[in-house]
Structure 1
């Protein structure tokens, strides 16, 4: 997205592609009333819906609908905004879009100037980018708009709405204000070292620093929850052929998503489904059965197993399925142990012993030879133990069952908060020293302050902003 061309007027279809009852063409820029008059044949009252025809160059109606004019700064972007709400057919929307560009380039017979010079098609996210640049919203709120659109669960949507309303930004701003106060105290001491009064001791700077760190820890916990609501958890079902992976996927999803047969190796490729548990999205991936490469029946199965291992390497958690009806077989138990030994370090594993309805064996028969991790017995067929599995997954993800106060967050927000926390820890270490270097303390506070500023956009590089806004849809 060009950051040098952000003052030219822009236009785009603001509704989703395809057919719909209503479609919207949105224009943003300066001095849009001449364009509105060319399109609607009349002067529009600010913030009043006006019904009438949208006219082509010959004065004939392209469509009939509502026109709304929002003069700056009282608009979404902070600029003049014109919205044409017509019938939502793709051809009609493209005709209106083309007409806006045509009318903008037409010369006014009185001034001999174009009606709206430089009008161009908007780039992805450019309307929201302008709202950010014109101080209508901060960067965290801008991201919350995209997150609200993309929300996959009700809890995620509500949390995104809270962030859009400023809940997250208010927490960050409060932290930044407290850091500003601390920086002022430290820098006052640096500026007047000869004063007899110890500014830091008198103002309880160390106590304030500790309280800021505690508050930041609370915001970080909430941000982790918000990031989990947004990103979800990628869970991979792994295990030997015919252990019940596809049956478990179907049981968790409550639908017949994967083909289930008694024939080993029925699943030859990954099958994915997103489900939710207490509002947290789980992206569950059913993989091809794992066994030694030399035991693969054909090249297709070898490729399927390779993809299974790739998915396992990228997982947030692995459900390693074991067949309770076969765990007392030496060869089967050895194959499970071999697979477990190849699981990547750092990926949480839950050992799920399936087919509890068909076996009286205990998971303890094999659990002792497997790597450490939660052990559950269940039946994908009857549903026994599924609820315990759901709770285990939420615990592994770090989810706390208090979603109502959570705001949506992204991994970059979590990383920025962690960075700020690290700088505060260094600041606390300097402050604890009786002869601590105040210049180092001041620098750590400044770096923590800047890290928080990247969340709301107070301190953000252009390349970061470009990366964020280009992920939006066109028209938003």
Structure 2
């Protein structure tokens, strides 16, 4: 956002996606909103109409009719931005929308910057910074879990949690500051034992919030899952079974999959991005296959979960364990061992492999899988795999009733709060002077306030936050 932005400007933007549609919504906000639209709307005097009403009529520029529209009137401060706002619902022709916007800009409105409507809502006290960021998350939500967590933050759940923490700290900070004013009197207004108890409680609360980011990041960004194994291990068959469609070519010929195939699946509200990679083998003279194998290793680098497939008829448990350890060493990726084509085992071999499965499960999740339909009575199913994947990233489930941190900026600030609390704790244990305690507590308050915008946030940070929004929001 421009450093020369004037918050007294009246801004305008298309609030619906560009392109042809039934209707388009054009939003204006600012002190000149009503005078500008009034000049284009001769049907009635908008200045005399009450807030939160709809007005139907023609927009005219000179003697020319621009369109028949519905105007939604919102007078500040009871509007999204806290300013006077009008939303113009016109027909969804891009040409009509451009003509309406051009007419308004000629009368004094300027085009809004990305996120400027929401930034004005933040600056005018309609929402705090965490809630403003939740607006962008809600717009981008592509799963139920993402929608629920963003909605809770937008309604102020996270902000309320932080507000309670700040209020308790502010109380003790004020008492310690008061002690400094009476330093010559040798009095103690702040009960150190109560402060110690509070610091312990706050440490637990902030640790829980910070730890929730692991799940929150998954909810917000999804999970990358790499499907890896030797050629002909059943990787493409598995992907097709997960999708319930023939997405990948399945062939008995080794090396059929040359490039990675990516598909997204929603499992209980969390998005999993599956990447079917080329079969990994040590030696091949096929240059195209070599490129595919290299890409497979690249996908492993970015994956959160690794599905390692082995044809159970060819599998050597110790060799599989060694290979999985090689692929995951030094990487934050969680492996799942899948022994495929279990429906082709004899009953005796299946019993043997069930025992091997239990031994391997001491280290990793293991499934004896038959991806083809009709084999579920002798093997684990694709549904079992979906359940396993969900438990790996979400445990027993996503509890959206409690705050889940989904924003990396919030997580970084919470880690800073934890560090400050640790220093306060050490200060209490070492009986340091009140002025040093007050300094550490003020730092805690600063980082908590940074999340919600209760302290001044760097202009560049605000620009980055709101610059990610769409223009009309």
SS of structure 2 residue aligned to 1:262:
coil
Once the two structures are TM-superposed, the CA of residue 189 in structure 1 deviates from its matched residue by 3.6
Kept after mapping to 2: 8 A contact 1:363/1:375: no
SS in 2 for 1:475: coil
Counterpart position of 2:93? 89
1:387 to 1:411, Cα distance in 2 relative to 1, 3 A: farther
Instruction: Give TM-score scaled by structure 2 length.
Output: 0.88
Unmatched segments (≥5 aa) in structure 2: none
> How far off its partner does 1:312 sit?
0.9
TM (norm. structure 1) is: 0.87
Pairing 1:120–2:122 present:
no
1:455 aligns with 2:440: no
Corresponding residue number in structure 2 for 1:397: 393
Match of 1:234 among 203, 217, 224: 224
Kindly indicate whether residue 364 of structure 2 is the aligned counterpart of residue 373 of structure 1: yes
8 Å contact kept, 2:310–2:339:
yes
- Per-residue Cα deviation, 1:397-440 (whole angstroms, up to 9, x for no partner): 2544242314462122222222212221222122223x335444
Shift of 1:18: 2.0
Cα distance in structure 2, aligned partners of 1:47 and 1:296: 70
- Aligned ranges 1:404-419 → 2 under 5 Å: 404-407=400-403, 409-419=406-416
**Once structures 1 and 2 are overlaid, which stretch shifts more, 320-329 or 303-312?**
320-329
Please name the residue that 2:84 is paired with.
Answer: 80
1:326-475 paired onto structure 2 within 5 Å: 326-328=314-316, 337-338=322-323, 340-346=325-331, 347-359=333-345, 360=349, 362=353, 372-382=363-373, 384-407=380-403, 409-433=406-430, 435-459=431-455, 460-475=457-472
Partners of 1:209 and 1:231 lie apart in 2 by 33
Which of 248, 271, 276 does residue 286 from structure 1 map onto? Answer: 276
Which residue is equivalent to 2:64? 60
Is residue 337–residue 370 contact of structure 1 (8 Å, CA) maintained in 2? no
| Range 296-305 or range 193-202, more displaced | 193-202
Quick check: 159-168 or 255-264, which moved more?
A: 255-264
What's the secondary structure of 1:421's corresponding residue? Answer: helix
Offset at residue 372 of structure 1 (A): 4.6
Change (3 A) 1:155 1:196: same
How many residues of Structure 1 are paired with residues of Structure 2 in the alignment?
455
Cα deviation for residue 187 of structure 1 reads 3.0
Distance, in Å, in 1 between the alignment partners of 2:296 and 2:362 is 19
Quote the residue 1:12 is aligned against.
13
Cross-structure match for 1:301: 289
Contact 1:239 1:336 in 2 (8 A): no
Alignment-derived partner of residue 113 in structure 1? none
Compared with structure 1, are the counterparts of its residues 369 and 52 closer, same or farther at alpha carbon in structure 2 (3 Å cutoff)? closer
Larger CA deviation: 386-395 vs 167-176: 386-395
For 1:110, the equivalent position in structure 2 comes to none
Question: What whole-Å deviation, never above 9, does each CA across 1:219-252 have from its counterpart, x for those lacking one?
Answer: 3344544333212222211111221222222333
The verdict on how the C-alpha distance between 1:249 and 1:449 changes in structure 2, with shifts beyond 3 A counting, is farther
Residues 221 and 338 of structure 1: CA distance in aligned 2, closer, same or farther (over 3 Å): closer
